[in-house]
Structure formats: structure tokens, C-alpha cells
Amino acid sequence: MFDLTLTFDNGPEPDVTPFVLDILKRRNLRATFFVIGNKLAQPERRVLAERAHAEGHWIGNHSYTHSIPFGMRSESDVSENEIRRTEIEIGPLACSPKLFRPFGGGGNLDRRLLNSEVVEYLTRERYTCVLWNSIPRDWDDPEGWVETALSQCKSRQWTLMVLHDLPTGAMRHLELFLDKVGEAGGRIRQDFPPECVPIRDGIAVQPLEPYVTAVSAARNEMAARG
């Protein structure tokens, strides 16, 4: 027996997101979609987020460009350009409190995720920051991720899994995965395990040091690269 929270990152994608939504609707399941701002700015993609919201799924902010992890960036306006711009695109589809997920360049849970300026912005704007404890790397193993995901679910009481509604072919196996979750006695829920939420409604509820690079350190790293 285990609990599972499903999240889908990096969409919306016209060739994949409707397929995922159809499966979730047939099974009466709710998930969270962490969207990319520059995709949401496209009308044909925004309508998919609107559909997800209308069907009871939560819409979260996953940055505007999904380019460089924030812990490796030192611009003073990175929060405005990446988080605020995306939130403007999300608009009335937003949750309360607003949801934000950083990206770690392949699922890394370390100091590449955030910098101090971003943390200040998230707390000031009263975001809930949602991390994860399961990355089956569906984008990297579109044919074999199901067994990896199931093994990760069975390894803990409550899994917060990151999947991707991207055109890799991985989501063709979503229904199989959900069948296996049911067979294993898994329960799918929409809320998040507390240990995966270091900031809740603008308040740091867990130590942030494991996820934060100081802006000065990020600036020095960028300078060394330049």
C-alpha cells in the first residue's frame, strides 16, 4: 500500500497533454500540471491548461523558459522574468496559494534549484514551492520508465512523482502505469507530501539550505564560465 501524487512538467503540448487529460478523466484522477510560461503564451497551448483547470487539475508555475536552473543564475531580475511572467500567463488558472516548481536540470535536488533572490521573491509573493521525491526519467527512458516508477512508489509511503507531458512517447504507457499502481494497492491523491514542500504560502517550513545557492556564489560561477 502506498500513496502517489502525480505531477506533469514542461507542457502544455498539443500532441500529448490532451491524451494525458483523457486518461485522467476516464479514471477520475486529479494531478498538477507545472507549465512553462512561453508555452502557455501560445493560444493553442493555453487552451489545454484551461481544460486541465476546468477538469479539476491544479496549474503550477515552472518558469518561463526552463533554460538554466535558478541556482546557477545571478541576474537580479530572474524572478521577474521567469516566475512573474509565467504567473501573468497563468492568470485566473492559478491555485491559491500559487504553486511554483523549480527545475534541476534532470531532476537534481540540490543547490542548483534556487538562489537567495528567488527565495526572497517566493516568500514575498506567498508561493508554495513544490519539489519531488520521485523522478523515473520518463523523458530519458520512454519505453522503460513504468517499472522504474513503480519501484520508486513501492519504496516509500507517499511518492510525489514528476512525469512529463512531452512528445517523447513516454505517456503512451501512462495507462499501463496507472493499472500497475492500482494492482499494487496504490492510492492516487492530489495534495503533496509535506517533506516535498519547503515553502508553503510564502513561509519556509523546512530548511532551504540544501536547495539554495547564494546569489554571490552563482555570480562567481557564471563569471568563471564567462
Q: Where in the sequence numbering do the catalytic residues fall?
A: 9, 164
DSSP 105: T
Q: Is residue 200 classed as helix, strand or coil in its secondary structure?
A: strand
DSSP-H helix ranges across the chain: 17-26, 37-40, 43-54, 78, 85-90, 116-124, 145-154, 174-183, 215-225
Read off φ and ψ for residue 109, nearest 5 degrees.
Answer: -105, 85
Given a contact cutoff of 8 angstroms between Cβ atoms, the answer to whether 168 and 139 are in contact is: yes
Name the amino acid, one letter, at 105.
Answer: G
Largest alpha-carbon pair distance within the chain? Answer: 52
